[in-house]
Amino acid sequence: MEVFRSRAPLRISFAGGGTDVNPFASLYGGFVLNVTINKYAYTSIVRTKSSNVSVTSYDFEKTTEFCSQSLATLENDACFVRSVYQHLMSKASGLDVITHNDAPPGSGLGSSSAMMVSIIGAFKEMENQVMSPYDIGRLAHDIERLELKQLGGMQDQYASAFGGFNFMEFDGDSVLVNRLKIDPWVVRELEYNMILVYTQKSRLSSNIIEDQIKNVKANKADNIDAMKQIKQHAQDMKRVLLTGKTNEFGELLHEAWQQKKMMASSITNDELDEMYDVAKKAGAIGGKVSGAGGGGFMMFYCESNKKRDVVSALEKMGARVESFKFELEGVESWRNVRSEQKFKRHFSPGFLAQQ
């Protein structure tokens, strides 16, 4: 029995997030600087003799089914697998699909889009299709944003498809991904001085993004000026990373966070503000929420040898500090041959809990 697998990396967004969301991207153009990390969304598929497609999500502890021919289902919620199945399957086939993610929903690490990219990667492998990172990013975006009507921008799908450090340009629905070649010592320095911390608070990004869209449509000058400023921060951060000025990078993170909070009132709250102030007092040069805001993961860049102090201060507040490294590759897919018994044992929830 062949098992088709895929993993797609999650991302952290340094600057420019929100400028990839229309109508701002169409009216003013957007710039985003991001990087993928060694946390992933996974998909595994096996063909079955059933007439149905069974989809098990370990993240939501839920199994759903749909008919492989009619696509009929008793579930009314959006199903990523069913949407990808419609686009990439050459003929009807029964399948068992299992998905799981290294980050919780609402993390701010682009986990939802990474899952979509991962599912596309696994189906692409099974169907022997050739797709470029641009092809994968575009299909993932179109399914999420246009077909399933999930609010959001364009950076997450392309970040997960391409991987690594990327400076992205957005003009309406047009996307240009500029892959950055950062000196290895700069990458190591960033990993040494950066902290990724889970606030223990998830958030619904669509609510925050809806506020941003309303502000742009209402032509609110303060909000639009803030978004234009974080576009500039994305350009400035790209420059300091390419030239190795890492402390300036930390300072720009701080400035970008101050401007991002101006985009919509729901981006921050008292708890996040307190956590940020505590980290700054302990030795962080700057930081920001990754993603839309409101909770999820925050990142901080610390002064030399102050990382331990910042970690200690944040943990005393109940935050969970996560170890990470940068992932320089994008979505990967492969196949393996194993017995049905081994497959089921390998992907049981108990097995995952032991890892």
pLDDT digits (tens, 9 = 90+) for 227-251: 899 999 999 999 999 999 998 999 9
Rounded to an integer, the average pLDDT of 6-34 is: 94
**Structural domain contains residue 75:** yes
Q: Are 233 and 16 in contact (CB under 8 A)?
A: yes
- Distances from the Cα of 353 to the Cα of 101, 102, 347, angstroms: 13, 12, 10
Largest CA distance in the chain: 61
The per-residue b/e assignment along 245-254, b for 16 or more CB within 10 angstroms, e otherwise, is ebebbbebbb
pLDDT of residue 349: 43
Q: How far apart are CA 275 and CA 27, in angstroms?
A: 34
Rounded to an integer, the average pLDDT of 205-233 is: 84
**Structural domain contains residue 48:** yes
Structural domain that includes position 86: 2-337
| Residue 346 banded pLDDT, cuts 50, 70, 90 | very low
- Distances from the Cα of 194 to the Cα of 100, 285, 301, angstroms: 26, 10, 5
The four Cα atoms 3, 324, 112, 108 give a dihedral, to 10 degrees, of 170
% of the chain at pLDDT higher than 70: 90
Is residue 320 over pLDDT 80? yes
Which pLDDT tens digit goes with each residue over 263-279? 777 778 888 899 999 99
| Residue 211 banded pLDDT, cuts 50, 70, 90 | confident
Is residue 293 over pLDDT 70? no
**Structural domain contains residue 10:** yes
pLDDT of residue 207: 66
Give 113's contacts (C-beta < 8 A, 6+ positions apart). 140, 141, 144, 152, 156, 157, 159, 160
* Residue whose token pair is 């609402």: 106
Tokens of 285: 């040069």
Q: Are 67 and 51 in contact (CB under 8 A)?
A: yes
| Residue 290 banded pLDDT, cuts 50, 70, 90 | confident
Q: How many Cβ atoms sit within 10 Å of the Cβ of residue 188?
A: 12
pLDDT of residue 292: 58
| Number of domain units in the chain | 1
Among 83-97, 198-212, 288-302, where is mean pLDDT lowest? Answer: 198-212
Q: Is 156 a catalytic residue?
A: yes
- 104/302: higher pLDDT: 302
Helix, strand or coil for residue 205?
helix
| Residue 45 banded pLDDT, cuts 50, 70, 90 | very high
Q: What residue type is assigned to position 234 of the chain?
A: A
Q: How far apart are CA 258 and CA 307, in angstroms?
A: 22
Q: Given CA atoms 38, 317, 295, 190 in this order, what sign does their dihedral have? A: negative
**Structural domain contains residue 71:** yes
Rg (CA), the chain: 20
Helix, strand or coil for residue 154?
coil
The per-residue b/e assignment along 16-30, b for 16 or more CB within 10 angstroms, e otherwise, is bbbbbbbebbeeebb
What strands lie across the sheet with 297-302, from one edge to the other?
284-289, 297-302, 194-198, 320-322
pLDDT of residue 78: 60
Which pLDDT tens digit goes with each residue over 56-85? 999 888 999 999 999 987 665 568 999 999
Which pLDDT tens digit goes with each residue over 131-143? 999 999 999 999 9
Rounded to an integer, the average pLDDT of 185-202 is: 89
| Residue 33 banded pLDDT, cuts 50, 70, 90 | very high
Q: What residue type is assigned to position 52 of the chain?
A: N
For residue 204, the domain's CATH number is 3.30.230.120
**Structural domain contains residue 348:** no
Is residue 352 over pLDDT 70? no
SS3 content of the chain, % helix, strand, coil (to 5): 45, 25, 30
Share the mean pLDDT of the chain. Answer: 89
pLDDT of residue 74: 66
| Residue 345 banded pLDDT, cuts 50, 70, 90 | very low
Tokens of 200: 């223990």
**Structural domain contains residue 81:** yes
- Phi, psi torsion values for 240, nearest 5 degrees: -70, -30
Nearest alpha-carbon partner for 13 in 40, 38, 31? 31
Q: Are 293 and 126 in contact (CB under 8 A)?
A: no
Catalytic residue (choose from 20, 96, 156, 211): 156
pLDDT of residue 204: 52
Give 288's contacts (C-beta < 8 A, 6+ positions apart). 14, 253, 254, 256, 257, 260, 298, 299
pLDDT of residue 294: 61
**Structural domain contains residue 53:** yes
**Structural domain contains residue 117:** yes
Rounded to an integer, the average pLDDT of 32-54 is: 96
Q: Are 178 and 167 in contact (CB under 8 A)?
A: yes
Rounded to an integer, the average pLDDT of 165-187 is: 96
